[in-house]
Amino acid sequence: MQNSEIKTTCSYCGVGCGIIVTNDSKNGVEVKGDVNHPVNRGMLCSKGMNLHYVVNDTSDRILYPEMRWSKSHPKERVSWDDALERAAAVFSSIIKKHGPDSVGFYVSGQCLTEEYYLINKLVKGFLKTNNVDTNSRLCMSSAVVGYKKTFGEDIVPIAYDDIELADTFLITGANPAWCHPILFRRLEQHKEKNPKTKIIVIDPRRTDSAALADLHLQIIPGTDIILYHAIGKRLIEKGYIDNDFIKNHTENFNLYKDLVLSSSFEKASKLCGVSVNDIKLAADMIGKAKGFISLWAMGLNQSAIGVDKNTALLNLSLVTGQVGKPGSGPFSLTGQPNAMGGREVGGMANLLAVHKELNNPMHRKEVADFWGVNEISEKPGLTATEMFDALESGKMKAIWIICTNPLVSLPDSRRVEKALQNAKFVVVQDISHNADTSKFADLLLPAAGWLEKEGTMTNSERRISYLPKGVNAPGEALSDVEILIRFAQKMNFNGFNFNTTEEVYKEYCMMTKDTKMDISFLNYNRLKNEGTFQWPVPDYGHPGTPRLFTDKKFYTPSQKAIFNIPTAIENTSEQPNSQYPFILTTGRIRDQWHTMTKTGKVSRLMTHIPSPMLEINPIDAFKSGINAGDIVVVTSKNGTVRVKAKITDSIREGVVFLPMHWGKQLENDLNRTNNLTNTLVDPTSKEPDFKFTTVSIEKY
Ligand code: SF4
* Rounded CA separation 429/278 (Å): 49
Whether 12 lines ligand 1, by a CB cut-off of 6 Å, is yes
Whether 15 lines ligand 1, by a CB cut-off of 6 Å, is yes
Residues 114 and 147 occupy one common structural domain: no
* Rounded CA separation 188/191 (Å): 5
Cβ distance 315 to 561 under 8 Å? no
Whether 10 lines ligand 1, by a CB cut-off of 6 Å, is yes
Print the SS3 string covering 103-123.
EEEEECCCCCHHHHHHHHHHH
Reported as type and span, the H/E element at residue 185 is helix 181-193
- Cis check: omega of the bond before 618, within 30 degrees of 0: no
Is the pTM of the predicted complex or chain greater than 0.80?
yes
Query: Does the pLDDT value for residue 568 go beyond 90?
Result: no
* Rounded CA separation 64/272 (Å): 53
Average pLDDT over residues 588-592: 94
Whether 176 lines ligand 1, by a CB cut-off of 6 Å, is no
Whether 13 lines ligand 1, by a CB cut-off of 6 Å, is yes
Average pLDDT over residues 123-136: 97
Domain endpoint, select from 56, 75, 95:
56
Atom 3 in ligand 1: which residue has the minimum CA distance? 45
- Helix crossing, 306-319 with 141-151: angle to 10°? 40
The string of DSSP codes covering 535-568 is: SP--STT----S---TT---SSTTS-EEPPPPS-
Tell me: the pLDDT tens digits for 472-516?
Answer: 999 999 999 999 999 999 999 999 999 999 999 999 999 999 999
Q: Are strands 29-33 and 18-23 parallel, antiparallel or unpaired?
A: antiparallel
Farthest-apart Cα atoms in the chain, separation? 71
Domain endpoint, select from 285, 313, 335:
335
Quick one: DSSP state of residue 351? Answer: B
CA 202 / ligand 1 centre spacing (Å):
23
pLDDT more than 90, % of the chain: 95
Tell me: the pLDDT tens digits for 147-197?
Answer: 999 999 999 999 999 999 999 999 999 999 999 999 999 999 999 999 999
Atom 6 in ligand 1: which residue has the minimum CA distance? 48
16 CA: nearest ligand 1 atom: 7
Whether 47 lines ligand 1, by a CB cut-off of 6 Å, is yes
198-202: strand order across its sheet: 215-217, 198-202, 168-172, 292-296, 329-332
Beta strands in 385-521 (DSSP E): 398-402, 425-430, 443-446, 455-458, 463-467
Residues 328 and 389 occupy one common structural domain: no
Whether 321 lines ligand 1, by a CB cut-off of 6 Å, is no
Residues 351 and 319 occupy one common structural domain: no
Rounded alpha-carbon distances, angstroms, from residue 693 to 102, 308, 638, 669, 679: 31, 19, 10, 19, 9
For residue 89, the tally of other CB atoms under 10 A from its CB is: 12
Name which of 58, 336, 66 is nearest 179 in CA terms: 336
* Rounded CA separation 233/240 (Å): 10
Residues 118 and 211 occupy one common structural domain: no
Residues 162 and 128 occupy one common structural domain: no
Q: How confident is the model at residue 212 (pLDDT cuts 50, 70, 90)?
A: very high
CA 15 / ligand 1 centre spacing (Å):
6
Residues 208 and 256 occupy one common structural domain: yes
Give the CATH number of the domain where residue 51 resides. 2.20.25.90
Pick from 182, 336, 532, 591 the residue to mutate for probing ligand 1's pocket: most ligand atoms within 8 Å of its CB: 182
Amino acid at 382: L
Q: How confident is the model at residue 335 (pLDDT cuts 50, 70, 90)?
A: confident
The per-residue pLDDT for 665 is 55
* Rounded CA separation 392/426 (Å): 13
* Rounded CA separation 359/167 (Å): 41
Query: Does the pLDDT value for residue 240 go beyond 60?
Result: yes
Average pLDDT over residues 10-27: 94
The per-residue pLDDT for 318 is 98
Residues 367 and 505 occupy one common structural domain: yes
Number of domains making up the chain: 4
* Rounded CA separation 261/2 (Å): 65
Q: What share of the chain is helix, strand, coil (3-state, %, to 5)?
A: 35, 20, 45
Residue 620 forms part of a structural domain: yes
The per-residue pLDDT for 485 is 98
Whether 181 lines ligand 1, by a CB cut-off of 6 Å, is yes
Backbone angle region of 552, left / alpha / beta, with phi > 0 → left and psi within -120 to 50 → alpha = left
Supply angle C-alpha 523, 452, 58, rounded to 5.
165
Cβ distance 686 to 385 under 8 Å? yes
The per-residue pLDDT for 670 is 79
Residue 552 forms part of a structural domain: no
Residue 191 forms part of a structural domain: yes
Residue 426 forms part of a structural domain: yes
Residues 644 and 519 occupy one common structural domain: no
Residue 560 forms part of a structural domain: no
Query: Does the pLDDT value for residue 320 go beyond 70?
Result: yes
The per-residue pLDDT for 341 is 87
Q: Which residues pair with 297 in a beta bridge?
A: none
Tell me: the pLDDT tens digits for 608-649?
Answer: 999 999 999 999 999 999 999 999 999 999 999 999 999 999
Whether 104 lines ligand 1, by a CB cut-off of 6 Å, is no
Query: In terms of residue numbers, what domain contains 679?
Result: 582-699
Q: How confident is the model at residue 663 (pLDDT cuts 50, 70, 90)?
A: confident
Whether 54 lines ligand 1, by a CB cut-off of 6 Å, is no
* Rounded CA separation 110/99 (Å): 29
CA 68 / ligand 1 centre spacing (Å):
38
Print the SS3 string covering 491-535.
CCCCCCCCCCHHHHHHHHHHHCCCCCCCCCCCCHHHHHHHCCEEC
The per-residue pLDDT for 664 is 72
Residues 680 and 636 occupy one common structural domain: yes
Cβ distance 309 to 303 under 8 Å? yes
Q: How confident is the model at residue 668 (pLDDT cuts 50, 70, 90)?
A: low
44 CA: nearest ligand 1 atom: 6
Beta strands in 211-340 (DSSP E): 215-217, 250-251, 292-296, 329-332
Tell me: the pLDDT tens digits for 521-548?
Answer: 999 999 999 999 999 998 988 999 999 9
The per-residue pLDDT for 339 is 87
Residues 667 and 624 occupy one common structural domain: yes
* Rounded CA separation 496/660 (Å): 38
Whether 593 lines ligand 1, by a CB cut-off of 6 Å, is no
Pick from 11, 35, 44 the residue to mutate for probing ligand 1's pocket: most ligand atoms within 8 Å of its CB: 44
Residues 506 and 652 occupy one common structural domain: no
Reported as type and span, the H/E element at residue 695 is strand 693-699
Residue 446 forms part of a structural domain: yes
Whether 44 lines ligand 1, by a CB cut-off of 6 Å, is yes
Whether 182 lines ligand 1, by a CB cut-off of 6 Å, is yes
Tell me: the pLDDT tens digits for 44-83?
Answer: 999 999 999 999 999 999 999 999 999 999 999 999 999 9
Give the CATH number of the domain where residue 695 resides. 2.40.40.20
* Rounded CA separation 8/11 (Å): 9
**Phi, psi dihedrals of residue 552, rounded to the nearest 5°:** 60, 25
182 CA: nearest ligand 1 atom: 5
Q: Each residue of 450-488: b (16+ CB within 10 Å) or e?
A: bbbbbbbbbbbbbbbbbbbbbbebbeebbbbbbbbbbbb
Domain endpoint, select from 308, 335, 362:
335
The per-residue pLDDT for 669 is 67
Residues 314 and 375 occupy one common structural domain: no
Residues 6 or more apart in contact with residue 614 via CB below 8 angstroms = 632, 634, 641, 643, 644, 645, 646, 656, 657, 658, 697
Q: How confident is the model at residue 25 (pLDDT cuts 50, 70, 90)?
A: confident
Residue 543 forms part of a structural domain: no
Residue 498 forms part of a structural domain: yes
The per-residue pLDDT for 2 is 66
